[in-house]
Structure 1
Amino acid sequence: MSSSNFEDLSLDLQTEIVARVASTSLADYFNMKKSCKKIRYLAEEGFVYGKVCLEKIPIDAWYSSNGRISLFINQCLENENPEALFRQAMVEYFCWGEIETATEYVNSAAVLDHHGAAYLLGLMLLFHGEEYKYDGIKMLSTVKKSSCFNGSVPTYRKLLIELLRKTKIQNLDVLYYRPSCCDDRVFHGYCDACFCDFELSYIFNALDRC
């Protein structure tokens, strides 16, 4: 599309186009901002920050001391970018032990249909003690049985493991509590609880290597 044709579009449609580019590639988003003042202005709209793709940003950026990175992430959070909310929930819970704040962020991500929210919330419930164990198993069993969620599990598992290995974990439940889910000898290895133990084993292994 030529610049003249782009200028002929309504402002809302221009913003939608910029948001769509931002939602598919972070590199294209930043390159686009360099193209002209008009697009740079549109790229700073809250609607665009809510859509921008964050998958190429390493998880340790969420606790970076770099002011520009922090400003960018905060803009994404303020404009309810689902991936930003999800990652913030992960950091709040595992790194800082801020359970209530993490719950607020993960619930916000879930409302926006983030595929990893149910996975993260299920793990949080498992670490919250025996009283919540079966709620956690139920939540993760939903993840296991949903093709939409299940296809994303390896991605979010990898992100969590990266976080656990790169930062200091201050949540004492995560550090010292080792929940175990399956006590079914007949269906051991195949039940929903075993799936939860399988996911927990990744976390335990990452923590043991820290």
Structure 2
Amino acid sequence: MKHGVSSSSFKKSHKTTTKISLNSLPEELLVEISSRVAASSFSDVHNLQLVSKTFQNYCNDGYVFQRVSFHGIPLFPWHRRNREKFSKFFKRCLRNGNPEALYRKGLIDYFHLDSAKEQGHGGGIEYLARAAEKGNQEARYVYGIILICLGGKTKQKGFKILSSLIKPLMSSTVKEVATLRKINRDIILWRGGPMMRQLKGSYVREKCNCDGRTEMFLAKSCVSNGFDEDSNIITSSSSSSSSSFCEICLWHHEVHLFLKND
């Protein structure tokens, strides 16, 4: 060959690509890959199962079902053609303790089922409690609110659960719970009106002896739809400024917003 490298030299210098079989990878790695995809979205794990028989097998691991995300899927996915298949998949997620599945099941049983068929809605609360224990923030919010509304011995437990949502600053706390409130109300209000009215009827405000600053801050934030940083309240108990923060006022305000009719 003129002005170039000989074909034999090219073949020697050319590096061949080594193909790695999925079956040669450690089982733990394949399960972890599948679980991370599952944590991204329900549709992604479904697509991963179509990639190969290997991933189809590992996507059936209990750890994968535990981490599946249902983000973007309606509480009642009527639009899905294969409803029976989705229902079986959802039940497997429940059996494996998937926090999002437990949260959804709790909302359905507590707020959406016919109260004549589901007396007391106890099953719904149990599912919400399990989801909250596993760290699901939406479940913590609604479970805590329900317990406060029911009163009696459960009220203090509700305050304790909701306290985990409190941020160092009052403004950050209000923004956090407002997001959780919207997520829950958007799901519940479609058919959960009767149960919301029952909770409203059973709720009794806890008494407090605070200086009123928390209530004033919350009322002002509702009117102005914003926050005055100069009047912000530090919620951390390690700060002397936190003496103006009142959890009872905060959660009374939140219960009122959660249960209001609109």
TM-score by length of 2: 0.64
User: Who is 1:165 aligned against?
Assistant: 189
Q: What is the match of residue 27 of structure 2?
A: 11
**Is the Cα contact below 8 Å between 2:112 and 2:191 reproduced in 1?**
yes
Unmatched runs of 5 consecutive residues or more in structure 2 = 1-17, 216-244
Calculate percent identity across the aligned residue pairs. 26
Q: Deviations over 1:131-154 (max 9, x none)?
A: 54344334323322479xx58644
Change (3 A) 1:11 1:18: same
Structure 1 letter corresponding to 2:123: T
Q: How many Å separate the matches in 1 of 2:158 and 2:27? A: 45
**Which of the numbers 95, 108, 111 marks the counterpart of 2:112?**
95
State the distance in 2 between where 1:91 and 1:55 align.
16
Instruction: Give the greater-gyration-radius structure (CA).
Output: 2
CA RMSD of aligned residues (A): 3.3
Aligned residues: 204
The alignment partner of 1:38 has SS state of helix
Take 1:114 and 1:33, find their aligned partners in 2: how far apart are those partners? 26
Corresponding residue for 2:36? 20
Note closer, same or farther for the CA distance 1:52–1:155 as it changes in structure 2 (3 Å cut).
farther
Q: State whether residues 107 and 188 of structure 2, in contact with CA within 8 Å, keep that contact through their aligned partners in structure 1.
A: no
Are 2:141 and 1:119 equivalent residues in the alignment? yes
Within 5 Å, which residues of 2 pair with 1:46-125? 46-61=62-77, 66-96=83-113, 98-125=120-147
Q: Distance in 2 between matches of 1:4 and 1:10?
A: 12
Distance in 2 (alpha carbons) for counterparts of 1:159 and 1:3: 46
More helix per residue:
1
Query: Relative CO higher for 1 or 2, CA cutoff 8 Å, sep ≥ 6?
Result: 1
The 1-side partners of 2:150 and 2:44 are apart by 41
- Structure 1, unpaired ranges of 5+: none
Alignment equivalent of 1:45, drawn from 34, 54, 61: 61
TM-score under structure 1 normalisation?
0.77
